[in-house]
Amino acid sequence: MVKTLKSQVRKNTLNFGIDFEIIRNTLSFGIDFKITSRKILYLRILSNIGIYIYFVIIIFKSIFPLLLFMLIVILAFAHTMFVLLSNPKNIETKDSIYSGNVTNPSTNETLNISFKSKSNDNPFSSYYTAMMTTYLWLYGDWVQRDDFNFWAVDVFTLVASLFLVIVLQNMLIAFMSGIYEEAKIKGRQTLLRHRAIIIADYEALHHIHYWKHEPDPKHIYYFGQSKTIEEWYDSRKHDRGAIYKGFEEKSTFTKYIFKERNYDKRSIWVYEDNIESEIEEIKIMKNDLNDKIENLITKLNEKKKNNDEINIGKLEILKNLELK
């Protein structure tokens, strides 16, 4: 069965020109890389590790335009060297000859063997190898100076060493050191935001339950030790500011100044109600309310007057009875 499968795979490879073993290895590598990346991202829940993960993400996002520019420069140099050295017929090469003595163990015969470098060793024979060789210039690997004896190669090597290594590489290092503080602040805030999202997801799923959960306590009691309070008081004795003062100094906030403006002239909204008619209705309601209040006051005064007259009549009757 295994032989049949192997022969079938070999047959498919020969018919279509596709190596399924390479495809399988590539897919395995891609899946394994994705799973490993997800495992690393799960470590964000740990503050000591998660904050450095966010450091890397924020710094990479900040330097991505500079990395893209460096890649374009590397591709430009690689294309130049590929055009110049891909087929060096009229360019003098430095042929390296490696020689040495070899002893045949069966006959004890000593042989002198020499090897000469071939054109297949040219690192700029294809565009892919030219690109990889140019990228290795950043690490000081100038292989073209050892293989070719041509003044143009030396000129391009000098220009690349000045522009790629001295200028761009040091610019990248300086830029990364400059955005470290900003990445530190944003990393802390992003870590807190990630925790808040996890808590919000848990709270959203917490309401899905199959039995009645215990209610939250109405009161929380804290029993503090006097020693702990004294230590905290001594540590904060010289700092009487707010506890969030340091966070405000390190964090980046945007301040907006409130200015009252009238946008009705430039508004795209069409109001159906007339403001003047509404004002007139409010005035009419106000007048009606004032009239009702005056009527109530008049009625109260009349009732009070009637009560006074009744009381006066009662007093006169009592006086007449006393005189009799």
What does 159-206 look like in DSSP terms, one character per residue? HHIIIIIIIIIHHHHHHHHHTHHHHHHHHHHHHHHHHHHHHHHHHHHH
Residues in the chain: 324
Share of the chain above pLDDT 90, in %: 2
Average pLDDT over residues 222-236: 76
CB environment 121-131: b (16+ within 10 A), e (fewer) = ebbbbeeeebb
Contact call for residues 127 and 78 (beta carbons, < 8 A) = yes
Banded model confidence at residue 207, pLDDT cuts 50, 70, 90: low
Record the pTM. 0.48
Banded model confidence at residue 72, pLDDT cuts 50, 70, 90: very high
Q: Is the per-residue pLDDT at 290 higher than 80?
A: yes
The per-residue pLDDT for range 232-254, each reduced to its tens digit, is 777 777 766 655 555 544 544 45
Distances (CA, A) of 262 to 254, 258, 293, 300: 24, 13, 37, 48
